[in-house]
């Protein structure tokens, strides 16, 4: 990760950035991230959901602090020096922590446990198929507000740059509390119930708050609501893994998580071109009321529908198909 970040400062074109920040950084990050997931899964049993929620809350906290720090560095030193500073800082902060990142099981036992033949049979389970479909559908719209909220605040509400950027900070702050709360709930209730809560809260917030926002206070209220509910969706993963392992005890928890993360990654990748298509030509401009007529209407509607799709697992379970 650190080497890729440093190398990206030498980039002379977009291809160099794709290779360093897009590919090498992603590979390094995945290699560092995967053992952490396995270790948390080993260390925590009764409060595993809460443990994961606290861990993922760190993502939201970083989303509050790092943009402000990096923006200051970018405006002061430029992107090349900023990348080099961040590369060194990232190394200094993360490398010492490797000492504490240890498995609970002795290495010999852990090796025997994970060296068995990789079992992909869980992919055929109805439980995994339904919840993974919900995961992908929810992810298709999840990233859209983060991409366009600052632009929406500036173009439609006339906000200056910092108040516009504060929309993302509000989402990240709220997601810190949302992840921890959802992590606690996942230890007590069925995973589909928790997903339903996350999805319905995000859906209502999108349609009623973003859709009718004509001022910054209302938009900030949406950001808080969206961060609390949509931002906590990934904290339901321990519950999905637990449900899958109940039906297939030979499945590997890390591998189940990897497929869930890949499903969410599909939404991340698709969000860019999808959002461009949704706002191209400023559709519904002047043909709908409130924010729906701002040129961002289809984007808002798709985000709400996508969030609602996340609750399909609850519906399927309610009718006895799960």
- The predicted pLDDT at position 267 comes to 85
Distances (CA, A) of 190 to 11, 92, 215, 239, 293: 48, 40, 38, 7, 39
- The predicted pLDDT at position 107 comes to 67
Q: Which of 239, 235, 234, 213 is nearest to 224 (CA)?
A: 213
List of residues 6+ apart from 240 with CB closer than 8 A: 128, 131, 135, 191, 256, 260
Average of pLDDT values for 137-161?
A: 92
Buried (b) or exposed (e) across 68-81, using 16+ Cβ within 10 A? eeeeebeeeeeeee
Q: State the chain's mean pLDDT as an integer.
A: 90
pLDDT at 114 over 70: no
Q: Tell me if residue 285 falls in helix, strand or coil.
A: coil
Q: 282: pLDDT confidence band, cut at 50, 70 and 90? A: confident
pTM, to two decimals: 0.87
Least confident of 38-42, 172-176, 278-282: 38-42
Q: 109: pLDDT confidence band, cut at 50, 70 and 90? A: low
Burial class (CB in 10 A: 0-12, 13-18, 19+), 215: exposed
Interval 97-108: pLDDT, tens = 888 888 887 766
**Ramachandran region of residue 290, left (φ > 0), alpha (ψ -120 to 50) or beta?**
left
The CATH architecture that domain 123-318 belongs to is: Up-down Bundle (1.20)
- The predicted pLDDT at position 102 comes to 86
| Total residue length of the chain | 322
pLDDT at 116 over 70: no
Average of pLDDT values for 223-235?
A: 95
Enumerate the domain spans of the chain: 123-318
- The predicted pLDDT at position 249 comes to 86
Burial class (CB in 10 A: 0-12, 13-18, 19+), 174: buried
């Amino acid at each position: 990760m650190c080497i890729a970040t440093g190398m990206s400062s030498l980039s002379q074109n977009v291809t160099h950035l794709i290779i360093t920040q897009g590919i090498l950084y992603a590979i390094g990050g995945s290699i560092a991230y995967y053992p952490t997931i396995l270790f948390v899964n080993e260390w925590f049993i009764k409060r595993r959901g809460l443990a994961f929620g606290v861990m993922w809350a760190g993502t939201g906290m970083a989303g509050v602090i790092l943009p402000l720090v990096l923006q200051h560095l970018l405006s002061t030193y430029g992107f090349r020096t900023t990348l080099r500073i961040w590369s060194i800082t990232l190394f200094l902060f993360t490398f010492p922590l490797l000492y504490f990142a240890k498995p609970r099981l002795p290495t010999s036992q852990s090796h025997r446990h994970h060296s068995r033949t990789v079992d992909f049979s869980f992919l055929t389970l109805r439980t995994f198929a339904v919840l993974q479909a919900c995961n992908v559908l929810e992810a298709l719209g999840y990233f859209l507000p983060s991409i366009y909220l600052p632009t929406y605040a500036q173009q439609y509400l006339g906000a200056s740059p910092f108040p516009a950027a504060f929309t993302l900070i509000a989402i990240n702050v709220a997601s810190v509390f949302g992840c921890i709360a959802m992590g606690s709930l996942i230890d007590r209730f069925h995973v589909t119930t928790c997903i339903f809560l996350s999805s319905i809260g995000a859906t209502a917030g999108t349609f009623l708050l973003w859709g009718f926002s004509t001022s910054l206070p209302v938009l900030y209220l949406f950001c808080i609501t969206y961060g609390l509910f949509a931002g906590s969706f990934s904290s339901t993963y321990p519950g999905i893994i637990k449900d899958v392992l109940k039906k297939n005890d030979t499945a590997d928890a890390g591998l189940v998580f990897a497929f869930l993360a890949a499903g969410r990654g599909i939404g991340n990748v698709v969000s860019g071109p999808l959002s461009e298509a949704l706002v191209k030509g400023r559709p519904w401009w002047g043909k709908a009321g409130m924010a729906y007529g701002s040129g961002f209407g289809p984007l808002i509607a798709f985000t709400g529908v996508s969030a609602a799709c996340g609750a399909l697992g609850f519906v399927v379970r309610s009718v006895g198909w799960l």
